[in-house]
Amino acid sequence: MKSRFATVVGILGLASMACGVRTKIGDMPDSGSPSYSTLGAGGSGTCAPLQDPNDRPFAPPAGVSGTWTGYFESTNLAVGDDAIKLTIDQAADGSNQIHVVFGNKPAPAPATSATDRYPPDLSALIDPPSPGAFDIPPIYFMPGFSYPTHEVQWIGQRLKFGVAIEEAWDSWCKLQKSYWVQQAGSDQRSYSCIPGSGLGGGYDDDGGLECFALLYPEPNIQISCDQATLCSSRYCQCDECGCSSPVVAPAHFDITFDGDVATGSGPQGNTGTASLRLMRSPS
């Protein structure tokens, strides 16, 4: 259907990244203008696994390994939604690891569609109220997902670590193709999971919302509105091989262990930082 009107939104914020070549996206034509139909590559992640540059090996103090369960205190969340579980153990290779799970719901199955919203019940991704209203949805912890921790520090019985909230979207990001995008006034290569340097939207003749990528000077192409919203936010980081979820941890926790009880604080949903209380689970 033809759009009745269209609204152009801002240029995509895209990160550039150097990596070892695994898949060529495409060559620049002699004219110097990319052919977007030939630039998409990927569908299996970035050239190399993304890493938090501040990750370091660590060793927990004696007596804290195991599973700790509890809740965030003084939040507006329902009982169960405020749950938190911390697991301190070893990976298959013998290295120490810590995982954290939020809420008491099961994790969604890995993503199977590159164009549908993920998870399917993501309430933050509602239909835009008007064409082109690609507001970046807030990103909160995905209930049930086992988050690996980053930037782990032990100071005696005190534990500090970070969590990369977007890491729960890695299965969706790895389904995406990566596109090279020309940045105005720059020769630097940047990549996104949708082509072009901007997004537009409109209503079709039946009143349904449609979204499209701006590919000047080539014709714009229609894309999934859910995909456009996720790709124009910070859910995925792309390079010339494909896309993965960012792993740099913006959400930080500070917990102190005392016998079979641990107390501290960390970010929880849209309530900001909240106090938390954990108890050792029976082995």
DSSP 177-239: EEEEEEPTT---EEEESS-SSEEEEEE-TTS-EEEEE--TTSPPEEE-HHHHHHHTTTS-EE-
pLDDT value at 133 more than 90: no
The residue assigned the tokens 């050792």 is 280
Q: How many CB atoms lie within 10 A of CB 17?
A: 17
What percentage of the chain reaches a pLDDT higher than 90?
Answer: 47
Say which residue, 108 or 125, is predicted with more confidence: 108
pLDDT at 35: 45
pLDDT at 268: 74
pLDDT value at 129 more than 50: no
pLDDT tens digits for range 196-221: 877 887 777 777 778 888 887 777 88
3-state secondary structure of 168: helix
* Mean pLDDT, the chain, integer: 79
Q: Tell me how far apart the alpha carbons of residues 279 and 225 are, in angstroms, rounded to a whole number.
A: 43
Q: Tell me how far apart the alpha carbons of residues 142 and 122 are, in angstroms, rounded to a whole number.
A: 9
pTM of the model: 0.81
Q: How confident is the model at residue 138 (pLDDT cuts 50, 70, 90)?
A: low
Average pLDDT over residues 237-264: 94
pLDDT tens digits for range 40-79: 666 789 999 999 999 999 999 999 999 999 999 977 778 8
Q: Which of 172, 192, 198, 165 is nearest to 180 (CA)?
A: 192
Q: Tell me how far apart the alpha carbons of residues 173 and 36 are, in angstroms, rounded to a whole number.
A: 20
Q: Where are the domains of the chain?
A: 7-280
Q: Tell me how far apart the alpha carbons of residues 219 and 229 are, in angstroms, rounded to a whole number.
A: 21
Q: How many CB atoms lie within 10 A of CB 187?
A: 6
Q: Decide: 114 and 159 in contact? Cβ < 8 Å.
A: no
Q: Decide: 191 and 180 in contact? Cβ < 8 Å.
A: yes
pLDDT tens digits for range 108-124: 999 999 999 898 876 54
Average pLDDT over residues 138-147: 86
The segment with the largest mean pLDDT, out of 8-12, 185-189, 277-281, is: 277-281
pLDDT at 120: 85
